[in-house]
Structure 1
Amino acid sequence: MIDNITLIVDFFLEHKLLLTVLIIMLISMIKRFIISSIRGDVAFLSDVQRKWMSRTKNGTFILILVILFILWQSEVSKFALSVTAIAIAIVIASKEIILCFTGSIQRASSRSFVIGDWIEVGKIYGEVIEHNLMATVIQEIDLDQGQYHYTGKTATLPNSMFFTYAVKNLNFMKRYVYHNITITVVQFVNLYTLFPSLTRQIEQHCEDFIEVAKRYNGVIEKHAGVDLPGSEPHIHITSGINGEQNVHIMIFCPTERAIHLEQLIREDFMIAYHENFS
């Protein structure tokens, strides 16, 4: 029995390429089984599931690298000696890969975001669903158009982008958001007379969540260490280049209700404007 095991081991050590393929297949099967167990039968993944799935993928990838390095150590050493003369060329050619690795280290050390956070990188907005040594995967959100819904698109960002663009953590916007509404009025009239009644109507729309909004606003202020605008509605007017008046309204509201509240506020403003200036 021992002789048979010795013969099998010797055979695989002589045929390292076959052994490498078998190791990768075995670890990949184990990884798929673990990920399938974590995912279960749920339709939507939780942040905890995504974290463990990401850890499983990263852990198996590192395990494969370690095993292959140990298995091919002698060949790697000989290869390293043979390519000393072209080491600089290899570094230049692999610059982007090195930047991705160091970008991953920078992200981990700064703790700029974790799986489940909303982030902004350049002009890309989304929720982090996976990150590894080379890239970060996000589920795109349409924040650029003033919306807060998922677009259905998945973006894969190389970690080298973290050295080129500032990474903004928008995680507090998952629950509550400062939503800005702009209404343009061409006719030059005194709109300030509409503000008291409009403010009361906005407060009526927000009265069912205003206490929670105040507490959440206080939590954000404490965490950020800055004085934020507050949870009450804010209204001000600016002038456009053609003399039109732009009415800016800012509310602090649950993210999923922002668009609905915007439509109600626009309707209230239009009704008040029609009644006063028709």
Structure 2
Amino acid sequence: MKNLINLLVVILLFAIWHQEIQRFAFSIAAFVVAIILVTREIIQCFIGFLYISSSTPFRVGDWIVVGGHAGEVTSTDMAKTTLLEVDLSTYSYTGKSLFVPNLQLITLPITNLNYMKRYVNHSFFYIRESLTINPFVIKTALLKQAKKHCAEFKDVAERYNSMIENRLDIKISGPEPSVSFESTELGKTKVVFSLFCPTEQAQAIEQKMLEQCIKLFISEEKKQLQLNTITPSS
């Protein structure tokens, strides 16, 4: 009888206060939803931290590209990943620090450039308007100069190239340098160089090769000019 009376009292109280209880439940639900909306970015950053911790797409010290920004990973925490910005055109540090929210690491593609920190497939080109000479006559000389500049690290480059191919299970260009010729839309001669070299020496080797290329073009143009000035009587 006592249990029955208690049950009836509970039912009676619920019947009297059910609207207040319902409004209270809605208030609690609205409060929880508001908290989730306010802290959504923080929750996503935490989920991003769990993602990079479990999948390990990169480690501290790797070079990565996220959202069009490249840099070396210096630290990670539950909110953000800190990058030391790298200019991929010169392979040098800009001195700027990038703070990438971890939520972007689960919404944006991540490119790991870890092998480029030591060696890189460095490609560059030189364009010259030279319609009087055949550019292929200087190809052998350019290749000779390229091999000369790469001779000091050739053995290490071959080993590093093989290590990268075995680790990534792909075939990459190198370590032998290459020189090819193309034509631009305006009909100019475009000389394309490709070198597998230490990252820190890439810019210096590029400047040396461009200097040699210009000298060879000038030399061949002078020879062609001398031939054109020779008269038939001579």
TM-score bracket for the superposition, by shorter chain length: 0.7 to 0.9
Residue aligning to 1:185: 128
Q: Of the candidates 149, 173, 177, which is equivalent to residue 92 of structure 2? A: 149
| Matching residue's letter, 1:179 | H
SS at match of 1:119: strand
Matched, 1:175 2:118: yes
Residues of 2 paired with 1:83 and 1:274: CA distance? 81
| Matching residue's letter, 1:126 | G
Unaligned runs of at least 5 residues, structure 1: 1-80
Residue aligning to 2:58: 113
Kept in 1: contact 2:142–2:179 (CA 8 A) = no
Q: How does 1:54-73 map to 2 (within 5 A)?
A: none
| Matching residue's letter, 1:211 | D
Q: Of the candidates 201, 205, 210, which is equivalent to residue 257 of structure 1? A: 201
SS at match of 1:230: coil
Residues of 2 paired with 1:190 and 1:107: CA distance? 53
Residue aligning to 1:266: 210
Residue aligning to 2:38: 93
Matched, 1:194 2:138: yes
Residue aligning to 1:125: 70
| CA deviations over 1:66-111 (Å, ceiling 9, x no partner) | xxxxxxxxxxxxxxx9743322222222221121111111111211
| Matching residue's letter, 2:57 | S
Q: Of the candidates 150, 153, 168, which is equivalent to residue 206 of structure 1? A: 150
Residues of 1 paired with 2:140 and 2:174: CA distance? 18
Q: Of the candidates 160, 168, 171, which is equivalent to residue 224 of structure 1? A: 168
Residues of 2 paired with 1:250 and 1:271: CA distance? 19
| CA deviations over 1:5-46 (Å, ceiling 9, x no partner) | xxxxxxxxxxxxxxxxxxxxxxxxxxxxxxxxxxxxxxxxxx
| Matching residue's letter, 1:185 | R
Residues of 1 paired with 2:127 and 2:165: CA distance? 31
Residues of 1 paired with 2:208 and 2:159: CA distance? 24
> In terms of Rg, which structure is larger?
2
The alignment covers a number of residue pairs equal to: 197
Kept in 1: contact 2:62–2:72 (CA 8 A) = yes
| Matching residue's letter, 1:118 | W
Unaligned runs of at least 5 residues, structure 2: 1-25, 223-234
Kept in 1: contact 2:121–2:174 (CA 8 A) = no
* Identity value in percent: 36
Residue aligning to 2:102: 159
Residues of 2 paired with 1:215 and 1:196: CA distance? 26
| CA deviations over 1:120-150 (Å, ceiling 9, x no partner) | 112211111110011000111111xx11111
Q: Which has the higher contact order (CA 8 A, sep 6+)?
A: 2
TM-score normalised per structure 1: 0.67
Residues of 1 paired with 2:125 and 2:157: CA distance? 22
TM-score normalised per structure 2: 0.80
